[in-house]
């Protein structure tokens, strides 16, 4: 608050300078690794040390992305995948949270449903692919369903553990004031598990991407996952790599949005 | 006399799957309005259990507990509970922590908020209302916790070893603060402790308990001269009382 007015000694200046320098060095090294990797890749492909038909190379990937944008409607595919991922993410997070609340509320439900949740959690969801195709066809619906299926169990388990970790003494304190169960939930359990909620969001973003891309591998006629599978089938490694790079960028952006949301909410709360 | 709380032949047995633990055995006592009463007994003898019973969080296996003329049914916001740790909610400011009971009891009126505000002002927390608990010292946090128990004007305060998590210096000071606040606000209080000096320096009445199952060992009324616990610790009779109770406990 009053940090700006304060007069600092030169040791503080040296100290902050060291921190700034460390940070700069980290960033420089990070960029260096990327440039080195891309440069080496490009050079080896150019010198024909590696076969760029199999490995592709950065310049071809960039070219392919250009072609995808102008001729193959890349943004349409991005849009489809993004839509499926975001829908899968939102529905999994919402349902996961609500179901975790119900399980917190009712010890009976928790105990009865525990073995089912354990089995569902350890089941590789992709095994349900054929069933999902039969039920939902081969469009976005099936893929969103896959994304939800993969995300929801982790969301439930993470959130429920967060709810159950509520300090017993704090619950006791509220009870001694005459609080009912709903008040314990709204005044203590929900706000107290907020950090868990944020980490649940972060985990769920990753899960939603796994779900949507896996779904697109299985079915689908559009989307980045479709482009990747298609590229593999017709042996166009440039296409596979280009779509993967775009996917990486999208996933990073989405993660950053969640991380930013976290910062905003924490700032707002203070 | 003006009795506020009465235990009549209260016993309590905890049930677990593999065992039965009798924590309280045929305990009877009564507490008057305005009294400061300490329960002292060895760790694990059943002190917290007594407070849980008074708070209505558990029911006695046998016997009766009467608070303000009525048998206790369930927690109803007629008493304030203060625990070993302050249990302030870290996401709420001091101000918001203190009015938590008002929200629970649906008494969050501007008049009651003003009272909470006055208490904070009066007891040295005026400049810390907008702070979060982790920005305050342990002693201050306990003071906030005490004020939180008083904003809804309960008849009775229950203090469960509220100083034992503090270091010695802070403990003497907070002990003094809490005593002054409780006396100034004219509250009836039950303090549970295993620290003999704490019991002697704070109480009008000391109830000594046996080891588990807790039953009555002795009741003392040490009329020690001094306005505050720290002053009382310096008085002449203090060590006499200490020895007496120490012998009873061992
Ligand atoms: N919920 C419970 N279930 C079973 N036993 C309990 C329970 N709570 C306390 N006890 C037992 O009752 C005895 C008294 O506990 P407590 O009242 O917490 O003692 P104190 O506060 O004096 O240290 C202890 O031996 C403890 O193990
Ligand atoms: Mg105890």
What is the SS3 string spanning A17-28? HHHHHHHHHHHH
Q: What's the CA gap between B16 and A163, in Å, rounded?
A: 25
Task: Tell whether ligand 1 has an atom less than 6 A from the beta carbon of residue B196.
Answer: no
Contact A158, A196 (CB under 8 A): yes
What's the predicted TM-score (pTM) here? 0.86
Going from the Cα of B170 to the center of ligand 1, the distance in angstroms, rounded, reads: 28
Q: Which of B10, B25, B48 to mutate to test the pocket of ligand 1 (most atoms within 8 A of CB)?
A: B48
Distances (CA, A) of A83 to A23, A50, A137, A192, A200: 36, 37, 17, 32, 20
Task: Tell whether ligand 1 has an atom less than 6 A from the beta carbon of residue B158.
Answer: no
pLDDT tens-digit readout, B109-121: 999 999 999 999 9
- Enter the tokens of residue B106: 């649906």
How large is the angle between the packed helices A74-105 and A58-71, nearest 10 degrees? Answer: 90
The answer to whether A169 contacts chain B (CB < 8 Å) is yes
pLDDT of residue B132: 93
* Ligand 1 atom with least separation from CA of B21: 5
CATH code for the domain defined by A56-269: 1.10.3720.10
Protein residue with its CA nearest to atom 14 in ligand 1: B46
CB spacing of A177 vs B81 below 8 angstroms: yes
pLDDT tens-digit readout, B189-205: 999 998 888 999 899 99
Contact B182, B189 (CB under 8 A): yes
What was the ipTM of the complex prediction? 0.90
pLDDT tens-digit readout, B152-190: 988 899 999 988 888 888 888 888 888 988 888 889 999
Per-residue pLDDT at B1 exceeds 70: no
Going from the Cα of A92 to the center of ligand 2, the distance in angstroms, rounded, reads: 43
pLDDT tens-digit readout, B75-100: 888 899 999 899 999 999 999 999 99
Q: What's the CA gap between B91 and A196, in Å, rounded?
A: 14
pLDDT of residue A197: 93
Mean pLDDT of all residues belonging to chain B: 90
Question: Chain B partners of A186 at a C-beta cutoff of 8 Å?
Answer: none
Q: Binning pLDDT at 50, 70 and 90, where does residue A1 land?
A: very low
pLDDT of residue A270: 59
């Amino acid at each position: 608050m009053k940090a700006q007015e304060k007069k600092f000694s030169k040791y503080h200046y040296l100290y902050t300078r060291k921190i700034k320098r460390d940070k700069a060095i980290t960033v420089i090294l990070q960029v260096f690794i990327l440039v080195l990797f891309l440069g080496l890749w490009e050079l080896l492909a150019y010198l024909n040390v590696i076969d760029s038909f199999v490995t592709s190379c950065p310049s071809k990937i960039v070219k392919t992305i250009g072609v995808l944008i102008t001729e193959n409607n890349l943004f349409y595919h991005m849009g489809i995948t993004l839509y499926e991922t975001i829908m899968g993410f939102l529905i999994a997070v919402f349902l996961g949270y609500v179901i975790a609340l119900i399980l917190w509320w009712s010890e009976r439900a928790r105990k009865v449903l525990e073995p089912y949740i354990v089995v569902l959690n350890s089941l590789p969801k992709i095994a349900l692919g054929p069933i999902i195709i039969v039920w939902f066809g081969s469009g976005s619906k099936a893929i969103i369903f896959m994304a939800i299926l993969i995300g929801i169990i982790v969301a439930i388990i993470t959130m429920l553990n967060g709810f159950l970790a509520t300090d017993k003494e704090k619950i006791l304190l509220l009870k001694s004031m005459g609080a009912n169960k709903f008040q314990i939930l709204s005044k203590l359990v929900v706000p107290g598990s907020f950090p868990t909620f944020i980490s649940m969001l972060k985990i769920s973003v990753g899960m939603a991407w796994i779900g949507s891309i896996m779904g697109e591998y299985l079915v689908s006629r559009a989307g980045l996952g479709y482009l990747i599978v298609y590229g593999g089938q017709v042996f166009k490694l440039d296409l596979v790599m280009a779509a993967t790079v775009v996917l990486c960028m999208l996933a990073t952006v989405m993660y950053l949005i969640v991380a930013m949301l976290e910062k905003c909410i924490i700032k707002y709360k203070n | 006399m003006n009795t506020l709380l009465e235990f009549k032949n209260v016993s309590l047995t905890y049930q677990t799957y593999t065992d039965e633990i009798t924590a309280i055995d045929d305990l009877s006592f009564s507490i008057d309005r305005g009294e400061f009463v300490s329960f002292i007994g060895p760790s694990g003898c059943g002190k917290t259990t007594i407070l849980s019973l008074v708070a209505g969080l558990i029911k006695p296996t046998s016997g009766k507990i009467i608070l303000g003329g009525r048998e206790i049914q369930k927690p109803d916001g007629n008493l304030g509970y203060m625990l070993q740790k302050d249990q302030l909610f870290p996401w709420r400011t001091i101000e918001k922590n203190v009015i938590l009971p008002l929200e629970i009891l649906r008494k969050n009126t501007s008049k009651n908020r003003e009272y909470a505000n006055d208490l904070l002002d009066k007891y040295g927390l005026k400049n810390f209302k907008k702070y979060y608990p982790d920005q305050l010292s342990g002693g201050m946090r306990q003071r906030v916790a005490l004020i939180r128990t008083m904003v809804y004007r309960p008849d009775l305060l229950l203090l469960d070893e509220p100083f034992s998590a503090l270091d010695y210096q802070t403990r003497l000071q907070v002990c003094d603060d809490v005593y002054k606040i409780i006396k100034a606000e004219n509250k009836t209080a039950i303090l549970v402790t295993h620290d003999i000096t704490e019991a002697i320096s704070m109480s009008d009445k000391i109830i000594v308990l046996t080891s588990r199952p807790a039953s009555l060992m002795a009741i003392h009324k040490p009329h020690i001269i001094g306005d505050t616990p720290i002053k009382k610790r310096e008085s002449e009779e203090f060590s006499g009382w200490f020895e007496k109770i120490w012998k009873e406990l061992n």
